[in-house]
Amino acid sequence: MPLPDSIIERYADDALFASLGGFVVGIADTHNLESALTPLFGGLPKAAFYGRTIFAAELGVELGRRRCLVLRNAAVRLLDRVDTLVVDAGALLTDARTMAAVVPASGVAREPVVHHAGMLFSEDDWSSVHVHEDWSIGPPAALAPPDWRGPLRAAVDGWTGDSLLLAHRGEPVAVVHLRPALRRGADALLAAIRQSRLHFVLACDDPALARVLTAHERIAPALLADAIDGLQRHGRVVAVLSARDRVALAAADVGLGLALDPTHPPWTADILLRDDLADATFVVDACVVARQVAEQSVVLAGVGAALGAALALGGLKKTRPQQVMLATYAASVVALANGLRRAVLWPAGRPRPPSIRPRGTGSPPTSCSPAWAPAATPA
């Protein structure tokens, strides 16, 4: 399916028709091909494309420095067009759990049960029974009395996720609803998405989770590939962040594969990230900067075209195409410099991952050194 035009492609189309119109007028006015070519050369959109190209090239280098693997270079040049980010919830969540809500039994004060639930609950060992004095918390199957009924049982059955039972002296006093805990770096990624003006789509089965994570739209993970196709048919350029859905990554315009399992990375992605969500945050921020560079490059191309038109005001018979091309070249050089400047200075203040240990040191791969990353050369 063809991608929708970005601001650069739209400007190039407008410049083409304007240049052709100037060429036709020049032929009619001068009856000289060389003189008529002057407005045609003056409208060339070189600067608009050069700014985006140099930014994407330097961004690819920066991704390499971050130990990410760009598998399709064209995807980096699409970041200025991306307007939708689809995130597989599995990329944001861990196997640990966090408390989502505490539902006390009828007639039980809320403050003491919330206090003891928070004291006894363990994110990493949430499925075990924890006891402190007369209070205990654990799975309903372990703490609930036989033939347990009532509002608390209904609260457990009505929750789509996991729940724990809080008991005092063996009597159930509250239900603690759980939700999967966010992976390290997820908060920063969600903040970057909110600031990026991207349409945020979360692939999960829990509507409450989509609301908590401030997603604009929720889709079922089983229908992720079909949902991506539907978004593309509505004219959206879709980036997908996932660690496991290889079909969705292949269907996306820009597939961001999170290598949570270094032994089986998602090779269908366009950009393979480490298991650190800081890399995904970096790419989301890069979409914003790429969009700004594209807009600035179009402005510079327009300035070059205006300078060319000003030079042609002296008369097409007196103005040579080489003179007008100087304005186009000057705008292109400035656009190249601006794209390179943004690509170099923007990530300068961002932390980079530590250096990868050389193979043979006996240290296993860590989150900063995936198994597919190249080894550093020993000094």
| pLDDT value, residue 378 | 41
Residues 70 and 29 in one domain: yes
Q: Is the pLDDT of residue 81 over 80?
A: yes
Q: Which of 158, 182, 206 is the last residue of a domain?
A: 182
Same domain flag for 256 and 287: yes
User: Which residue type sits at 373?
Assistant: A
Cα 182 → chain centroid? 16
Domain assignment present for residue 206? The answer is: no
Residue 213, domain member (yes or no): no
Q: What is the mean pLDDT of the chain?
A: 83
**144 with 46, same domain?**
no
Same domain, 267 and 313: yes
Kindly state whether residues 347 and 249 are assigned to the same domain. Answer: yes
Same domain, 304 and 274: yes
Both structure tokens of 139:
């799975």
Q: Which of 167, 182, 197 is the last residue of a domain?
A: 182
Q: What is the pLDDT of residue 268?
A: 95
Q: Is residue 196 part of a domain?
A: no
- With a pLDDT cut of 70, the percent of the chain lying above it is 79
Calculate ∠ Cα 187-193-197, nearest 5°.
155
323-351 pLDDT, tens digit each: 667 777 888 899 999 999 999 988 765 65
Predicted pLDDT at 350? 60
Q: Which residue has the higher pLDDT, 229 or 375?
A: 229
- CA contacts within 13 A on the Cβ side of 71: 17
Section 301-318 average pLDDT:
66
Say yes or no: 345 and 269 in one domain: yes
Average pLDDT over residues 166-175: 91
Choosing from 130, 148, 182, the residue where a domain stops is: 182
pLDDT for res 335: 92
pLDDT for res 375: 42
* Residue 358, domain member (yes or no): no
Tell me whether residue 319 is in a domain: yes
Residue 90 forms part of a structural domain: no
Check residue 356 and give its pLDDT. 45
Any idea which residue has 């944001």 for tokens?
92
Q: Does residue 36 lie within any of the structural domains?
A: yes
Residues 12 and 109 reside in one and the same domain: no
Residue 66 and residue 109 in one domain: no
Mean local confidence (pLDDT), 58-68: 93
Residue 66 sits in the same domain as residue 149: no
Q: What is the 3 state secondary structure string of 4-55?
A: CCCHHHHHHHHHHHHHHHHHHHHHHHHCCHHHHHHHHHHCCCHHHHHHHHHH
Question: Domain containing 63: what range?
Answer: 1-82+243-351+366-373
Residues 72, 168, single domain; the answer is no
Mean pLDDT of the region 312-320: 54
Spatial neighbors of 7 by CB under 8 A, at least 6 apart, are: 80, 294, 295, 298
Q: Does residue 63 sit within a domain? A: yes
Let me know whether 13 and 73 are in one domain.
Answer: yes
Of 119 and 22, more confident: 119
Domains of the chain: total: 2
pLDDT at res. 349: 58
